[in-house]
Amino acid sequence: MPIRLAGPQDLTALIAIDSVAHREPYRAEQIADWLGQYRCLVAEVQGSVAAYAVMHQHFFGCAFIEMLMVGQGHRRSGLGAALLARIQADCTGQKLFTSTNRSNGPMRRLLERRGFVESGVVEHLDEGDPEQVYYW
């Protein structure tokens, strides 16, 4: 599957596959900001954007995967793993962090399969669902 850098032309496609954007209007603006400020990668299936990842270097000076989103119809098909592998290859020799809600079992399992280890917990972001930080 092709993975490439995202650009402003991908905004509509990213919003369309983002599960939060359908219920939270702020997310479209957030995605536009990510496209303008951070490194965004997209994975395509048959020429259409099916997943995306956002990474920056603002987590205590380390690389941080801010978002990994796979479109509903493409989940558990290897797209998330492919995006993580690409980011890991790009970050060889660097510390790389990410996080997910503790309740997000599929993402936690994916991170562990890709060699990430638990690094800490942030409470009170989503009440009753701590944010688990991971390190690679």
The pLDDT value given to residue 93: 87
Measuring CA to CA, how many Å separate 127 from each of 7, 22, 101, 113?
Answer: 34, 21, 11, 27
The pLDDT value given to residue 69: 97
At the topology level of CATH, where does 3-135 sit? Aminopeptidase (3.40.630)
SS3 4: strand
Measuring CA to CA, how many Å separate 20 from each of 15, 115, 135?
Answer: 9, 27, 25
pLDDT tens digits along 3-56: 999 999 999 999 999 999 999 999 999 999 999 999 999 999 999 999 999 999
The domain locations on the chain are 3-135
Please tell me the distance from the alpha carbon of residue 58 to that of residue 55, in angstroms, as a whole number.
Answer: 9
Tell me the one-letter amino acid at 44.
Answer: E
* DSSP string for 89-134: HHTTTS-EEEEEETT-HHHHHHHHHTT-EEEEEE-SSSTTSPEEEE
**pTM given for the model:** 0.94
pLDDT tens digits along 65-120: 999 999 999 998 999 999 999 999 999 889 999 999 999 999 999 999 999 999 99
Which one, of 52, 60, 63, lies nearest residue 98 by Cα? 63
